[in-house]
Amino acid sequence: MGNYDDLKLFSVGMVDDIWANGVDGAFMDFTGNYLLLYVFLSNISDEEMTGYGADSRFNIRFVEKDDICFFITKFELCSTIDCPFSPCIYDNPPSYDNPPEEGQGLALHIFLIESTKGELKCIRTIGLGHEFSLNWREWYLQALTKSISKDEYKKRIDNIYNTYTTIDLYAEGKTRSFSI
């Protein structure tokens, strides 16, 4: 996905062929100003649509394993999902120069995508808590100082998934958590 010099306009109902791969999964992107969570599900149920909607409860956590950040999210009525993240995925990692002002946090834009058609089904924006945002910013700035190749990043992720389940990561992330 990468750094956005100009923002792409997203609207519910839009279809993008790049999203149409039929695979379930999640991807986190960071622009330097906000986070973008892409959730890909095939055959989205009514319950999942409700769970990702604006009125449902939400929890996000992050843990660090082998210099990789794992975001673990739980939307009401939906399965817990995780997605790895590191600035090493970018050729030119975004800077994160300014911490959020007191009482503010990063914005998290969530895109629920039906992956068989590549259709954007739901958009939700959540303001993450101040403390959570500061903690993640601290991790991010430290991660920028570490050199990990994209191949090494993939190997580390595989090793972590061979050791930990999503539920293990979720439980470990309880001290770096934000809920609404």
Q: Please check whether residue 8 lies inside any domain of the structure.
A: no
Q: Please check whether residue 6 lies inside any domain of the structure.
A: no
Q: What is the pLDDT of residue 105?
A: 94
* Domain with 161 in it: 17-179
Q: Please check whether residue 60 lies inside any domain of the structure.
A: yes
Q: Please check whether residue 102 lies inside any domain of the structure.
A: yes
Q: Please check whether residue 7 lies inside any domain of the structure.
A: no
Q: Please check whether residue 10 lies inside any domain of the structure.
A: no
Q: What is the pLDDT of residue 4?
A: 44
Q: What is the pLDDT of residue 6?
A: 46
Q: What is the pLDDT of residue 5?
A: 46
Q: Please check whether residue 58 lies inside any domain of the structure.
A: yes
Query: Where would I find the beta strands (DSSP E) of the chain?
Result: 25-30, 34-41, 58-65, 68-75, 81-85, 107-114, 119-127, 177-179
pLDDT, block means (10 residues), the chain with 180 residues: 56 92 93 92 90 88 95 90 93 89 93 95 93 94 92 96 94 86
Q: What is the pLDDT of residue 7?
A: 53
- Total-model pTM: 0.89
The whole-angstrom distance between residue 114's C-alpha and the CA centroid of its chain comes to: 17
* Number of domains composing the chain: 1
Q: Distance between CA 137 and CA 129 in Å, rounded?
A: 12
Q: Which of 120, 119, 97, 95 is nearest to 110 (CA)?
A: 120
127, 105 in Cβ contact below 8 A?
yes
Q: What is the pLDDT of residue 35?
A: 94
Residues 6+ apart with CB under 8 A from 146: 67, 88
